[in-house]
């Protein structure tokens, strides 16, 4: 057993000792250690629910090879408006206002082997220039995918929206390590930690707005989905102010998710606007 694994188990024990789900997670990790099969994103993972294998690793299924894994993933290599990017302050202008209409949702989650998606009930949306984009789901990356002036944050939440015409808009919230987030425990306590596991409880609720910062200032640019198929014409709204999660909350996601970051993509002349 390596020092790193011991450190992770100790951290989890310190913070979540009384949590039943995390005790199950500790048992899961322990069994993995015994079997020598801990990585949920390894290249020999064959239970991909979307049917097309890719991962975030440095191997043959990783980001540098996504475009060659399927003709449907071609834009991951040939696209010119890809995400994530490094947001630089010298590329600014005035951005149009957005309108948030986010309500509550019953708590539904799925672990797809690469990330844990919180699936949102219909009825929550953002509106841009009269077009409504419905909030479909949100998930977390540790650390951040988007950088600010050359530096990553400790994490990033992506709120994925889709319009009736099938266009995407993603609201991104940066995370810095700090105080414990009071609205996260309900997610952590029920989080599906095994590939393809789901959670669905109509009596438990989550509010996406609880994970927004106080300030509504944001950057906006035209990008892509930051995972295969890397679809372009995605509107990105990256909020300028970050929210805080505690060290242990971030560590829990890192332990469950492992590496889930796509490297920075070239701007190719795109302009980032801000409000
Ligand atoms: Zn994402």
Q: What is the pLDDT along the chain (275 residues), one digit of tens a residue?
A: 444 444 444 444 444 443 444 444 444 444 444 443 333 333 333 345 545 589 999 889 999 999 999 999 999 999 999 999 999 876 566 777 788 899 999 999 999 989 999 999 999 999 987 899 999 999 999 999 999 999 999 999 999 999 999 999 999 999 999 999 999 999 999 999 988 899 999 999 999 999 999 998 899 999 999 999 999 999 999 999 999 999 999 999 999 988 899 999 999 999 898 88
**Distance from the alpha carbon of residue 68 to the mean position of ligand 1, in angstroms:** 21
Residues around the ion ligand 1 (C-beta < 5 A): 158
CA of 140 to the centre of ligand 1 (A): 6
Q: What is the pLDDT of residue 45?
A: 35
In angstroms, what is the span from residue 141 Cα to ligand 1's centroid?
Answer: 6
Tell me, in angstroms, the distance from the centre of ligand 1 to residue 171's CA. Answer: 10
Look at strands 125-128 and 155-163 and give their pairing. Answer: unpaired
Is pTM beyond 0.75? Reply is yes
Report how far apart, in Å, the C-alpha atoms of 184 and of each of 94, 137, 173, 241 are. Answer: 33, 15, 14, 18
CATH of 79-274, one of 2.60.120.380, 3.10.200.10, 3.40.50.740, 3.20.20.370: 3.10.200.10
Give me the pLDDT at residue 200, please.
97
Token readout for 204 is: 């438990």
Cα–ligand 1 centroid distance for 115 (angstroms): 9
Distance (angstroms) between ligand 1 centre and the Cα of 50 equals 16
Separation of alpha carbons 95 and 274, rounded Å: 5
Domain boundaries along the sequence of the chain: 79-274
What is the pLDDT, as a whole number, of residue 30? 46
Q: Measure the CA–CA gap between 138 and 172, rounded to whole angstroms.
A: 10
Rounded to the nearest angstrom, the distance between the alpha carbon of 1 and the centre of ligand 1 is: 31
Q: Calculate how far, in angstroms, residue 36's C-alpha sits from the geometric centre of ligand 1.
A: 28
The predicted pLDDT at position 90 comes to: 60
| Distance from Cα 14 to the centre of ligand 1, integer Å | 28
Cα-to-centroid distance, 62 and ligand 1 (Å): 15
What is the rounded CA–CA span in Å between residue 44 and residue 59? 10
Between CA 57 and CA 269 the distance in angstroms is 28
State both tokens at 129: 């220039």
Residue 43 tokens read as: 């290249």
Cα–Cα separations (whole angstroms), residue 143 to 99, 164, 214, 226, 257: 27, 31, 21, 14, 11
SS3 188: helix
């Amino acid at each position: 057993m390596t020092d790193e694994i011991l450190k992770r188990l100790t951290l989890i024990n310190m913070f979540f000792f009384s949590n039943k789900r995390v005790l199950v997670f500790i048992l899961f990790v322990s069994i993995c250690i015994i079997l020598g099969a801990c990585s949920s994103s390894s290249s020999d993972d064959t239970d991909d629910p979307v049917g097309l294998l890719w991962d975030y690793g440095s191997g043959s299924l990783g980001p540098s090879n996504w475009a060659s894994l399927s003709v449907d993933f071609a834009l991951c290599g040939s696209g010119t408006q890809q995400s994530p990017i490094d947001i630089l302050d010298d590329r600014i202008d005035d951005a149009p206002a957005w309108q948030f209409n986010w309500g509550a949702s019953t708590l539904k989650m799925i672990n797809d082997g690469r990330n844990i998606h919180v699936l949102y009930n219909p009825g929550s949306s953002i509106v841009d220039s009269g077009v409504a984009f419905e909030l479909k789901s949100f998930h977390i990356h540790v650390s951040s995918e988007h950088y600010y002036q050359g530096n990553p944050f400790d994490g990033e939440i992506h709120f994925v929206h889709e319009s009736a015409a099938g266009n995407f808009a993603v609201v991104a919230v940066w995370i810095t390590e700090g105080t414990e987030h009071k609205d996260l425990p309900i997610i952590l306590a029920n989080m599906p930690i095994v590939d393809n596991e789901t959670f669905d409880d109509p009596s438990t609720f989550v509010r996406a707005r609880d994970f927004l910062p106080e300030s509504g200032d944001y950057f906006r640019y035209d990008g892509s989905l930051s995972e295969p198929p890397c679809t372009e014409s995605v509107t990105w709204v990256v909020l300028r102010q970050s929210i805080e999660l505690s060290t242990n909350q971030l560590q829990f996601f890192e332990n469950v998710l492992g590496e889930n970051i796509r490297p920075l993509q070239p701007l190719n002349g795109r302009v980032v606007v801000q409000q």
